[in-house]
Amino acid sequence: MSLINRTADFVRHKMSGDSSGHDWWHIDRVWRTARMLAEAEGADRQVVELAALLHDIADWKFAGGDERAGPRAARDWLLSQQVAESTIEHVCDIIATLSFKGAGVQTPMRTLEGECVQDADRLDAIGAVGIARCFAFGGAKGRLMHDPEVSPEMHQSFAAYKKNAGPSINHFYEKLLLLKERINTATARRLAEQRHIFMEQFLTQFFKEWDCQ
C-alpha cells in the first residue's frame, strides 16, 4: 500500500464519526480538490496530498486552542512512515500556516503546494457545503443560529479569533464571505466565485425569512 493510501486509512479511522463538519468526508473533499489544483497548477502532488490528508488531524479548535497540535501529530505520523525530513518539514509548515486566523490576520502560504491545500480547504468552507458545515460546527459548539443583537466581530488577532463564540450567521461576515478574496490560485478562484454568490443568495433568503417576509 502506498504512503498516500496508508495516510488516508490512518486519517479515515481517526476522524470518522465527527459531526462538526471536520469529519473524514471534509478531509476527502479537500484531498480531492487539492489533488485537482496540484495537477492544474503544477505543484508537487505528494506534498499536496499528504498535507491535505493531515491538515485537520489535530485541529486547534479541538485541541484546546493549541495551534501546534496539528503539525506535531502530522510529524509523528510521517516519522512513523519514514518520510524524508524535507517532505515532513514542508507538510508541517503548510499545516501550521493553513488556517484562517481572523479577518485582520493575513496567512500567506510560502509555497505553491501550500497555496493548493489552503485553497482546497477554503473552497470547502464556502458554497452549499460551507453553509452546511458552518451550522454543523455551530451546533456542535452549542452556538445560536442567529442573534440580531450580536454583531459580527472582525477579529484583528488570532488570539481574539480563537475566543470567538458568536452566532453561526456572524461567521459568514467574520470569515466565509472574506475567503473569495484570499484564494491563491487561478483555478480555485474560478470555483470560489460561484460558491461566494450562492452564499450571498442564501443570506438574502435567510434574512427575508427571519423577518417573516
* pLDDT string in tens for the chain (213-residue length): 899 999 999 999 988 878 778 899 999 999 999 999 999 999 999 999 999 999 998 765 654 656 788 899 999 999 999 999 999 999 999 999 998 999 999 889 999 999 999 999 999 999 999 999 999 999 989 999 999 999 999 999 888 888 888 999 999 999 999 999 999 999 999 999 999 999 999 999 999 999 998
CA torsion angle for 129, 135, 140, 142 (degrees, to 10)? 170
Residue the block writes with cell 457545503: 129
For residue 7, what are the contacts with CB-CB under 8 A and spacing of at least 6? 49, 50, 53, 54, 77, 81
Q: Within 13 Å of residue 152, how many CA atoms lie on the same side as its CB?
A: 14
In the CATH scheme, what is the code of domain 3-210?
1.10.3210.50
Dihedral sign from CA coordinates of 4, 16, 196, 154: negative
pLDDT value of residue 146: 97
Cell of 102: 481572523
pLDDT value of residue 61: 62
Question: Residue 206 in contact with residue 186, Cβ under 8 Å?
Answer: no
Question: Residue 26 in contact with residue 125, Cβ under 8 Å?
Answer: no
| Burial class of residue 129 (count of CB atoms within 10 Å of its CB; 0-12, 13-18, 19+) | middle
